[in-house]
């Protein structure tokens, strides 16, 4: 196997992390909607925690994309 094909395989494997990010975001927002639907009075508390969870999950996506681009641009 040559280096170019190994880099493409590595970039594809690094991009698999984005599927986990999609699942994580879906779980965060489904729990958020469920919590507010069951108890509308907790909206202010749940919103803060929901946005923090969203930001941390998106950070994982940004790191995964950064690794993919570093592999594809021959930096790593």
Per DSSP, the residues of 5-32 read: HHHHHHHHHHHTHHHHHHHHHHHHHHHH
pTM for the whole structure: 0.77
Residue 74 is predicted with a pLDDT of: 83
Range of the domain at 8: 3-72
Question: b/e per residue, 41-69, with b = 16+ CB within 10 A?
Answer: eeeeebeeebeebeeebeeebeebeebbe
CA–CA separation, 72 and 76 (whole Å): 8
CATH of the domain at 38: 1.20.20.10
Number of domains the chain contains: 1
List per-residue pLDDT tens for the chain, 76 residues long: 888 898 999 899 988 989 999 999 999 999 999 999 999 999 999 999 999 999 999 999 999 999 999 999 987 6
- Largest Cα–Cα distance in the chain? 59
């Amino acid at each position: 196997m040559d280096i170019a094909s190994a880099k493409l395989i590595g970039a594809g494997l690094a991009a698999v992390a984005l599927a986990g990010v999609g699942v994580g975001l879906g779980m965060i927002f489904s729990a958020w909607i469920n919590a507010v639907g069951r108890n509308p009075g907790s909206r202010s508390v749940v919103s803060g925690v929901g946005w923090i969870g969203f930001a941390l999950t998106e950070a994982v996506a940004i790191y995964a994309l950064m690794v993919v681009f570093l592999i594809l641009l021959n930096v790593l």
